[in-house]
Amino acid sequence: MENDFFAQLKQDLAEYGKALGEVGQLRLVGIVSRVLGLFLLIFTLVLCALAVFAFIAVALIDVLSNYLPVWAAALIVCSAYVVLIILAIACRKPLFIHPFIALLTKQIRSEEELALKTIEAEHKADLARVRITGQVDNATRELNFFVNLFTRLWDVLKGLLRRR
């Protein structure tokens, strides 16, 4: 019976450790994907800003030399980069964060799925903890029962020996 108890306890502890590991992994994926997504967003914005400044400089030179068609073309290209910056900010989650989540987990495609999987993993960890706690409580209760039984038997034997 003791071997069964320890084997079950070992199995439950292993399940609990796996569940906690999964929770930690999913939380790490969430953090890393947000950090990498933010890094890529900032990198994209910096590159687009540099391009915008380059085209503004070209447009200013062209204005000063009084060539309106070249200046108009430079403004059109500059406005296209501004639109790209706005699109990058507006679509940052599907463009930057979700691909990293999908890349790091290979099964999860969005932050919502990641949150659901994290909740599921936390639930598994809680169930394993409750199961282990219940088994330890049962073992403690059994041990207390046998200790109390032995103590009472010992007291009865001592009482019988004193009467003689």
Q: Which residue has the tokens 């919502």?
A: 112
Percentage of residues of the chain with pLDDT beyond 90: 1
pLDDT by position in tens, the chain (length 164): 567 777 777 787 777 778 778 877 887 887 777 777 777 877 888 888 888 878 776 776 666 666 566 666 667 667 777 887 898 888 888 877 777 666 666 666 677 777 787 788 788 778 877 887 887 788 788 888 888 888 888 888 888 888 76
On the CB side of 128, how many CA atoms lie within 13 Å of its CA?
22
pTM, to two decimals: 0.45
Judged by DSSP in three states, 110 sits in coil
- Whether the Cβ atoms of residue 56 and residue 115 lie closer than 8 Å to each other: no
pLDDT at 85: 84
pLDDT at 120: 82
pLDDT at 49: 82
